[in-house]
Amino acid sequence: MSNSIAFFAGRFLARNPALVAVATVCLVAAAVLLLGGQNSEPKATQQIAKAIATQAKDTAQTVCERERSAMLVQYNEHMAAGQPWKAATTLRRCANTLQNAEMTALVASAERLDAITTARDPKATPHDRQRALNRLPASDPQDAQEIAKLRKTVAAMVDKADKAEARKIAARKRSEGASIGMSPEDVRASAWGKPEHINRSIYSFGVHEQWVYGDGNYLYFRDGVLSSMQTGR
């Protein structure tokens, strides 16, 4: 069993050289602190932090250089499969680490394709489409007319969706703000407030009132007690 553990541990460390490097620096740092005494601790700590940062950066660059070809292959596979965001994610970290112009351009191209694809997608929510459009440059020369039209269309869709959601929330609040059995005074003091107007009917068996709030919202009173309610969509 111990041999198996050693095998898998060795395999894990071989695949994570950055972790090995940082761990080594940390061990050296611990030794420096123990041997250096308390008086040198602040200065030693700064030197250790700098050493760890440098080692991590150097290791990350080494890993990126070594895996660059494989990442480019994976990038192309994701692009061919219609997964531009995954393609961008594949290269983004190493593009930043290496400050590589070619990789940075490929990331930007994939991100733009992902944004324009989402913006064009009628199945995406209006807000997702608007966020995608906001990721595109304000003066993008590519598909400029289409993007300008999409911005206008999607903005109208977002406005409509926001108003519908606001009506839905208001209806729920009104429903929560009044309950069967309330008096007219209690209803006026609730989220419903005063009605736009009241339709009153007097019968031999009592008085019925319909309180009209607009947008399909109504409250019904029977002899001064809330008996039923109707909310719009």
Confidence (pLDDT) at 60: 79
Rounded to an integer, what distance in angstroms lies between the CA atom of residue 199 and that of residue 56? 76
pLDDT digits (tens, 9 = 90+) for 194-219: 999 999 999 999 999 999 998 889 99
pLDDT for res 142: 77
Give the range of the structural domain holding residue 77, as residue numbers without chain letter: 2-120
Helix segments in 121-143, DSSP class H: 126-134
Domain co-membership, 21 together with 52: yes
User: For residue 224, which of 174, 188, 191, 193 has the smallest C-alpha distance?
Assistant: 188
Q: Which residues of the chain carry a pLDDT beneath 70?
A: 1-58, 233
24 lies in the same domain as 78: yes
CA distance 59 to 52: 10
The alpha carbon of residue 193 and the mean position of all alpha carbons in its chain are separated, in whole angstroms, by: 36
Q: What is the pLDDT of residue 231?
A: 87
**pTM of this prediction exceeds 0.85:** no
Same domain (yes/no): 172, 198 = no
**pLDDT tens per residue across span 88-106:** 999 999 999 989 999 999 9
Same domain, 221 and 171: no
Same domain, 156 and 84: no
CB contact set of 224 (below 8 Å; sequence gap of 6+) = 183, 184, 207
Structurally, how many domains does the chain consist of?
A: 3
Same domain, 192 and 95: no
Would you state the pLDDT for residue 13? 45
138 and 112 both lie in a single domain: no
What pLDDT score does 14 carry? 45
Cα 199 to Cα 210: distance, rounded to the nearest angstrom: 5
What's residue 222's pLDDT?
A: 97
Same domain, 11 and 63: yes
